[in-house]
Structure 1
Amino acid sequence: MSLDPAYLTRMISAHGPFTRVVVARAQGSTPREEGAAMLVWPDRIVGTIGGGALELAAITAARAGRSGFEAVPLGPAMGQCCGGAVTLGYEAWDSARIAQVQGDWHARALGRTLGRTEAMPLAVTRALARARDRGAVPPMMIEGWLIERVAPPPLPLWIWGAGHVGRALVNVMQPLPDLAIHWADSHAERFPDTIPEGITPLIAENPATLASLAPRHAHHLVLTYSHALDLDLCHRLLSHGFGALGLIGSATKWARFRKRLAALGHTDAQILRIACPIGDPSLGKHPQAIALSVASALVREQNAVQTASERGMRAG
């Protein structure tokens, strides 16, 4: 997981300053991977470093004001059967700290206040230079410093429709990192009383008129209450441009839509960029089943893109 200043800013705006706990090193069998993080306040937590005894101890330590690194052998220290070891980094964050995050990589010493005369260790300087010049991914920990990649802008995901499937999708997608979710429908009453944190609701009498507001690389999931509205959205999005477009529907609906979209002037190649149905049909039509399968496909896609990017960086 990358360090995301925009997300951290939203969390501070919503709940105030916090302590961030990050898995800076993972060796052997561990609950979570390097980079997994959680945010800890006196009255709440967001995210997870794996749950169980390790997470409970980390929450307690964060609330007690711990800073810096802590090496934890999971078996001897926690009685966990994983058998591995982790090093956790504890860091207090506020708006001033977020303002220090610049560029593609962010390196800082944990557990002490940096004075003006304290220089970055040469090993850290060299690791950052290799990352920026040759794409070599640095270790997260070097000589008491934590190095993290700064997250690129989140993927815009637009969910069209606040019915059963739309609500299930939002509830499943909302906790996932690196997504900026917009949720559109025709009336405020169609949304739940409480919109999940971080979701941007959009309301228009004809939601299809909002399609032009979406970034041209956005991903879209079209699942409104109306076939006519679904068709209008597909037509407008094909004309506007998109990164991916999924449409809920049966084989009969999709065959009808292909004919109508062709009559509206779209080519077969354009129309076939639409994925219909969405999700894995073998899991059934329950809203949560659809949401889980769509979310898992999106996560696999994002992980594949990130893995390919990291391989390209190493090869470069």
Structure 2
Amino acid sequence: MLDRAALARALAQVPRVVRVVVADTRGSVPREVGAAMIVGPAGLLDGTIGGGTLEHEAIRRAQGLRADQLDRRALGPDLGQCCGGAVTLLYEIWDATRLEALQGDLHARPLPDSTPEMPFAVKRLLAEARAQGTPPEAQMREGWMIEPLARAARPLWVWGAGHVGRAIVATLAPLPGIEVTWVDTARDRFPEQIPEGVTMLPAADPALLVPHVPVTGEHLILTYSHALDLALCDALLRRGFAACGLIGSASKWARFRKRLAALGHEPARIAGISCPIGQPSFGKHPQEIAVGVAAEILGQTARQDAKRGRTA
């Protein structure tokens, strides 16, 4: 998907970038059609098209680009890679003016040296996609490139910047489609370097932020304090959420269920909080917890995409 936010972040650093997108593939290749990276004058700024030598050569080519180009490469004969397939890469120069002109939920444009008049097959594809409410897959069709724009990011609030919080944020921050807000009680509880795209939010009393979070938000509660964890669970149950996870053992969750019930919450509502988080079978190391949490989130995304496909 074409990520407008990633382009905006890149153009905030430099006035001109090249977006390199996998436009077509044949045989065994490192990445799928639609995979993209953004290259600035000094090198890679965001994303990956995979493939080692393929990506290295594409970055070098992008840095010297003066006009949009289409480049077809056989990975074995041209680059000495073992994949054996072929990749068509589309290089596009982006600046603030081009980004501002990007509207809607689909981006269809002629490939370099193709006719500027939209073919009937492309018109039909776009009309069907809009009628069904389901974006088409990224693809080349009759000399045009078609890409859906990335959906609005899922708001994910991570409450706590301890070892587990740091591991989870470091794991989730690079994933597309997730917008992380990271909360703890003081600035010095966060690492010096905050991952790109993550909003850091120090708050002396984090529970006071809850009335202002989106009810569509997803939450991971993993602070240093059981009292603060409980206050956040209570506040989020009153506010509402799309999903909520609490770090802890079975005994901790049993105590919390009793205390939340005493605070007036119905058992069915309390059951909306998941505890423990991640995949307990992976282990208790912060990185193991982070991998389990990421697997759950990616699984939810895959199930939602499959459901959209069945109902389209």
What is the TM-score when the length of structure 2 is the normalising length? 0.94
- Listed one character per residue, the Cα deviations across residues 66-105 of structure 1 (whole Å, up to 9, x for unaligned) are 6232222222222222122221111111111112222221
Partner of 2:158: 159
**Maintained 8 Å contact 1:248/1:277:** yes
TM-fit CA distance, 1:180: 0.9
Task: Give the stretch that moved more between structures: 137-146 or 32-41.
Answer: 137-146
* Equivalent position of 1:310 in the other structure: 309
1:215 to partner: Cα distance:
0.9
Deviation of residue 136 (structure 1)?
A: 7.3
Q: Which residue of 2 aligns with 1:11?
A: 10
The Cα shift of 1:137 comes to 2.5
The amino acid that maps onto 2:311 is G
> Does the C-alpha gap of structure 1 residues 44 and 212 become closer, same or farther in structure 2, counting only changes over 3 Å?
farther
Please say which of residues 54-63 and 228-237 is displaced more in the overlay.
54-63
Equivalent-residue separation in structure 1 for 2:295 and 2:22 (angstroms)? 23
1:63 aligns with 63
Residues 156, 209 of structure 1: CA spacing in aligned structure 2 closer, same or farther, 3 A cutoff? Answer: same
Where structure 1 has 5 or more consecutive residues not aligned to the other structure, the ranges are none
Q: Residue 106 of structure 1 aligns to which amino acid in structure 2?
A: H
State the partner residue of 2:241: 242
User: Which has the higher mean CA deviation after the structures are superposed, 136-145 or 224-233?
Assistant: 136-145
Query: Does the 8 A contact of 1:187 with 1:204 survive in 2?
Result: yes
Residue 100 of structure 2 corresponds to residue 102 of structure 1: no
Shift of 1:49: 0.7
2:163 corresponds to which letter in structure 1? H
- Residues 14-25 of structure 1 mapped to structure 2, 5 A cutoff: 14-25=13-24
CA distance in 2, matches of 1:159, 1:225: 13
Over residues 282-301 of structure 1, what are the superposed CA-to-partner deviations in whole Å (9 max), with x where a residue is unaligned? Answer: 11111111111101211121
C-alpha distance in structure 1 between counterparts of 2:129 and 2:280, whole Å: 42
Distance 1:76 1:268 in 2: 63
Q: How has the CA–CA distance of structure 1 residues 292 and 9 changed in structure 2, closer, same or farther, with 3 Å as cutoff?
A: same
- Paired AA for residue 73 in structure 2: V
Counterpart CA distance in 1 for 2:15 and 2:284 is 40
Counterparts in 2 of 1:105 and 1:298: CA distance versus 1, 3 Å: same
Distance change (3 Å), C-alpha of 1:53 and 1:68: same
Asked if residue 143 in structure 1 is aligned to residue 139 in structure 2, the reply is no
Structure 1 segments of 4+ aligned residues over 3 angstroms from their partners: none
- The separation in 2 between residues aligned to 1:180 and 1:14, in whole angstroms, is 20
1:228 equivalent to 2:239? Answer no
**How far apart, CA to CA, are the structure 2 residues paired with 1:271 and 1:136?**
36
In 1, Cα distance between equivalents of 2:160 and 2:206: 9
- For 2:282 and 2:50, the matched residues in 1 are separated by 27
SS at match of 1:156: strand
Query: Gaps (5+ residues) in structure 2?
Result: none
Aligned length: 309
Aligned counterpart, 2:88: 87
RMSD value, Cα: 1.8
Q: Deviations over 1:194-240 (max 9, x none)?
A: 21111111111111111122111111000001000000000100110
| C-alpha contact (below 8 Å) 2:35/2:48 kept by paired residues | yes
Indicate how the Cα distance of structure 1 residues 311 and 23 shifts in structure 2: closer, same or farther if over 3 A, else same. farther
Deviates more, 1:34-43 or 1:232-241: 34-43
Q: Which moved more, 1:59-68 or 1:170-179?
A: 59-68
1:178 counterpart residue number: 177
Q: What is the SS of the residue equivalent to 2:179? A: strand
Aligned residue for 2:264, secondary structure, equals coil
Match of 1:76 in 2: 77
Displacement of 1:16 after TM fit?
Answer: 3.7
Equivalents in 2 of 1:275, 1:256: separation in Å?
Answer: 14
